[in-house]
Amino acid sequence: MKASKHGFERSAGVLLPVSSLPSPYGIGNFGKDARLWVDFLNEAGQSYWQILPLSPTGKGDSPYQSFSAFAGNRFFIDFDSLCDEGLLKRDEYAGRRWSHFDKLVDYGLVYRGREQVLRKAFSRFKDEAALDDFIEKNPWFDHYSLYMVIKESQNMLPWMEWDEPLRNRQPEAIKKVRSEFSEDLRFNAFLQYQFHKQWGELRAYAKSKDIQIIGDIPIYVSLDSADVWENHHLFQLDDNNIPVEISGCPPDSFSKDGQLWGNPLYCWDAMADSGFEWWILRLKKSFELFDVLRLDHFRGLESYFAIPYGDKSAKTGYWKPGPGKAFIDVVEKTVPDASIIAEDLGFVTDAVRELLEYSTYPGMKIVQYAFDEHDIGDYIPYKYTANSVVYPGTHDNDTVKGWSKSAPHASIRQAMDYMGIRHRADIPRGMIRLAMQSSSNLAVISMQDWLELGTGARLNTPSTVGGNNWCWRMKKSALTSQLAEEIAGITKMYGRHK
């Protein structure tokens, strides 16, 4: 067993996606309200801000189904900052209606409106040297920009449905795209340049307030992405670029048919032959943006669930070996200072536990799972170890208040007995206290749970597309000094105050 170099000192943080931040423009962004949020975290004695992937959203507006594992989401670019640079006039964006809904993100409206405003800002941008420097320093950008420009010219069809010369990146076809769409390629460079510039400034502000940022890296990428378009050989595709098998997870107590995620699976042998070069580039890029990374679906590194393409449920899937310790060793050698949280939820075997121990990454504990009437597993709080990160629930769970109203009676009774409380209304704060007083060195509480919001504030329901997934937004009025004082008090009480 390797000696542990990962993990955290005893501390606390809050989970809140950038998209859920308040802003006047339909979706959270990197502007003034993000800085007010960082100020709130600092006042509340928190050490970490955990977010979801910052990549461009694709199918179902999910940050886990992105057009790129490397690019940033143009939705998060702050208009006011562009105005301060002289690239926009306030009346060009401030008077628009950015949402048809009171509290939710309207992705279609945001996409259409932002495109017009950002094009206007680009028309006034003159620092060509800055764009050239950005492109030179980010080798992933060229294929991403080509992919997006072609996709937009093809009415957003997935690359698998493009004409063969474009689908297979034939040199003459790509040369023609560069010639015909040179201005659009520069526009994409402008978007990524502004995204990275503004995020870098926000991250620096967070650092000045002693707040570290925990990013999130999905283990899989979308089939309809620049990553797969550029690297056919690294994925399990047939000669017609159709997946042979796709990702998902087997049936369990949460889903009798299992889950069909639909991502293409990696050719791990090809990845290993290259020294996992694509993955290492991805990790290094991520650590340019974040202080810590949550590695989604860690168990897929030990073995992954493969479902034949075209099947209607995950029942026909089976387990295949992942890259295991070889992957961990390469990461350790090439990204030696990587601070990684392993999302080790789901069907966990002794082999997965052994790989987690070998990696020395802290795993995750979900307090809601401690009160599953069928199987508490390792989630009951008295079993937690210091080298772990505890959450009452994650972005894939109902809020604690929502759980307290919908969970089976036996689970509710068990939770109340364990916490020593008599009233169901006390469950949200009780579960937060369970997490904060636990042995896990890092406790992360979702903002919805601090606000004691119900199911309507749930961020995502796994195995569903559409609805209100990924749409919840926090009201600006939620960030009160009284709440900050309460959070700071609880954090200090359990030895997590910075």
Residue 254's pLDDT is 65
pLDDT for position 375: 64
Q: Tell me the average pLDDT of the chain.
A: 94
Task: Tell which residue, 221, 226, 223, has the closest CA to residue 169.
Answer: 226
Which pLDDT score, from 0 to 100, does residue 51 have? 98
**Residue 498's pLDDT band (boundaries 50, 70, 90)?**
confident
Task: Decide: helix, strand or coil at residue 445.
Answer: strand
Closest CA to 177 of 153, 161, 144, 141: 153
Domains with residue ranges and CATH for the chain:
11-493 (3.20.20.80)
The identity of residue 75, as a single letter, is F
If you average pLDDT over residues 148-155, what whole number do you get?
96
pLDDT value at residue 1? 33
Give me the active site residues, please.
Answer: 296, 343, 396
Percent of the chain with pLDDT over 70: 97
What integer is the mean pLDDT of 106-131? Answer: 95
* Alpha carbon distances (Å) from 241 to 170, 174, 249, 354, 420: 15, 18, 23, 35, 57
Is residue 408 pLDDT above 80, yes or no? yes
| pLDDT (0 to 100) of residue 5 | 58
From the number of C-beta atoms within 10 Å of its C-beta (0-12, 13-18, 19+), residue 495 rates as exposed
Query: Residue 21: which region, alpha, beta or left (left: phi > 0; alpha: psi -120 to 50)?
Result: beta
Helix ranges (DSSP H) in 335-454: 350-359, 400-406, 409-419, 427-437, 447-450
Residue 8 C-alpha from the chain's centroid: 20
Q: State the pLDDT at residue 467.
A: 82
pLDDT-based confidence at residue 372 (cuts at 50, 70, 90)? confident
Q: Determine the pLDDT at residue 376.
A: 63
Q: Evaluate whether 137 touches 281 at the Cβ level (below 8 Å).
A: no
- What is the DSSP annotation of 67-102? S-SSPPPGGG--HHHHHHTTS--GGGTTTS---SSS
Determine the average pLDDT of the residues in 351-375: 92
pLDDT band at residue 466 using 50, 70 and 90 as cut-offs: confident
Q: Residue 296 and residue 302: Cα distance in Å, rounded? A: 13
Q: Could you tell me the pLDDT band of residue 3, with boundaries at 50, 70 and 90? A: very low
What local confidence, expressed as pLDDT, does residue 256 receive?
82
| Angle, helix 107-123 to helix 182-208, in steps of 10 degrees | 100
* pLDDT for the residue 7: 72
What are residue 39's phi and psi, to 5 degrees? Answer: -60, -40
Q: Specify the pTM.
A: 0.96
**Whole-number percent of the chain with pLDDT over 90:** 88
At position 178, the amino acid (one-letter code) is R
What digits encode the pLDDT tens for the residues 185-216?
Answer: 999 999 999 999 999 999 999 999 999 999 99
Predicted confidence (pLDDT) per residue in 133-145, tens digit = 999 999 999 999 9
Position 346 confidence tier, pLDDT thresholds 50, 70, 90: confident
Q: CB–CB of 285/277 below 8 Å?
A: no
Whether 374 shows a pLDDT value over 70: the answer reads: no
Q: Is the pLDDT of residue 4 over 70?
A: no
The per-residue pLDDT for range 253-282, each reduced to its tens digit, is 667 888 899 999 999 999 999 999 999 999
